[in-house]
Amino acid sequence: MTAATAARRRSGWLVWGVALGAYVGAVFHRSTLGVTGVDAAHRFDINASTLATFSVAQLAVYAAMQVPVGVLLDRYGSRRLLIAGGALMVAGQLCFALATEVWLAVTGRVLIGLGDAMTFISVLRIVALWFSGRRYPMLTQLTGTLGQFGAILGAVPLVALLHRAGWTPAFLVAAALGATLLLLVVVAVRDTPDREMAAGPTPDLATVRRELAAAWAQPGTRLGLWTHFVTQFSGSVFALLWGYPFLVQGQGLTPTAAASLLTLMTVAMLVSGPAIAHFCARHPFHRSVLVFAIAGSSATVWAVVLLWPGPAPRWLLVTLVLVLALNGPGSLIGFDYARSFNPVSRIGSATGVVNVGGFVASITLVLVVGVVLDLATPAGRATPDLSAFRWAFAAQYLLWALGAVQVLRYRNAARRQVAAQALAVPPAATAP
């Protein structure tokens, strides 16, 4: 290895490390509502349905921006989008810190959703441009998995700070953390190993449509979208909003115990992510088998929890969070499909399409859970009981059924495409 090659490799790890830090910050900002939902309901004097709109606003903006952000990413590069996204999330936390009215709190969550939407796929593009293809699956998993350190910061430490210092100081600290990470991105991140990404002409609407149509035409892109859909929503909704109220109000745990279970879930993600990446790299033809296993195990353990007479024992709740921990790393398999079936010039658009899947499912479940909780909570009770949570979380099975059917459908389509390519030329894509 020459000195130049070694220096380039070191630069790549530095750029990825700082970009990963930006994603850690995005996950932190995203998850701050998860453990503060009960406090938010008291602060703004709102019911479960209104509380759900906080997360729905954040996630809806995130999902709606994925395709536009993908196009912008192909046009402007990762560095500019990471900077813009970081600034938006800092502004969102400042709004949330100072909010005393619902409209300002929702505005804060919308700004966080906008900034969050620009972050993860920007880091994935850095991975694609700085590292070889054989490293992509592992670094994608590491990015998604290590990013969950942000959720750890947003659990027990944030709860402790919130209860000790109060609402406004806690979220001002969150904004300060985001500002620090933003400064690091400005100093250290570059788009490519050779030079900064030059801005080309702004693509016209016809070009944008053509690129999106080309990404969508690939069965592997749609397989990635539905993979993301079926694997992500259960763990995401549990971590982002409804898991903490379910554990505290439904299962009767203390706030500290509930936050500790959410932290355990995050730690389990850190452990399972590299193992899932290793499996996908070694057995690319069996990635969809792993997708079905992850979704099926989540559905099974939820069935046991929801059917358990009375509050679930602690060992069962631990099992639940350990199984849900597989959801995040499992959803990243969808991005591996996007990379496998699309050229580098279209990765931003294809990744944006894939990333819509899980967040559309999560938005749907967040909203449905909130509505069902309000409908199923007995009259006269200030908070939902365990029975209301059971009915609310049962809605997940409709989403699992839809996602499983679609994954099977597009897996078969992708395999037919790869087989057809093999008859003509060596395949450019790896079979699912």
pLDDT digits (tens, 9 = 90+) for 384-407: 889 999 999 999 999 999 999 999
pLDDT computed for residue 313 by the predictor: 96
pLDDT tier at 167, thresholds 50, 70, 90: confident
**Global pTM value:** 0.74
Q: Residues of 290-325 as b/e, b for ≥16 C-beta within 10 angstroms?
A: bbbebbebbbebbeebbeeeeebeeeebeebbbbbb
Poorest-confidence range of 53-57, 204-208, 319-323, 325-329?
204-208
* 3-class secondary structure, 151: helix
**Per-residue pLDDT tens over the stretch 185-236:** 999 998 887 755 544 555 666 776 777 788 888 888 999 999 999 999 999 8
Q: Which domains does the chain carry? A: 8-193+206-424 (1.20.1250.20)
Residues 6+ apart with CB under 8 A from 175: 90, 93, 94, 97
Predicted local distance difference test score (pLDDT) of residue 315:
96
Least Cα distance to 110 among 19, 29, 34 occurs for 29
Contact 114, 185 (CB under 8 A): no
> What is the per-residue pLDDT for 295?
96
User: Tokens 């210092």 sit at which residue?
Assistant: 165
| C-alpha distance from residue 296 to each of 230, 300, 302, 369 (Å) | 10, 6, 10, 20
Please tell me the distance from the alpha carbon of residue 94 to that of residue 227, in angstroms, as a whole number: 35
Phi, psi of 135 (to 5 degrees): -85, -15
pLDDT given at position 175: 94
Q: Give me the half-sphere count of Cα atoms (radius 13 Å) on the Cβ side of residue 17.
A: 8
pLDDT average, residue stretch 263-286: 84
Say if residue 372's pLDDT is above 90. yes
For the chain, what is the mean pLDDT? 85
How confident is the model over 63-94, as pLDDT tens digits?
A: 788 778 877 887 888 999 999 999 999 999 99
Task: Tell me the C-alpha to C-alpha distance, in Å, between residue 370 and each of 53, 143, 340.
Answer: 9, 31, 37
- CB proximity list for 374: less than 8 A, separation 6 or greater: 47, 48, 49
pLDDT digits (tens, 9 = 90+) for 12-64: 889 999 999 999 999 999 888 777 777 888 888 888 888 888 888 888 888 78
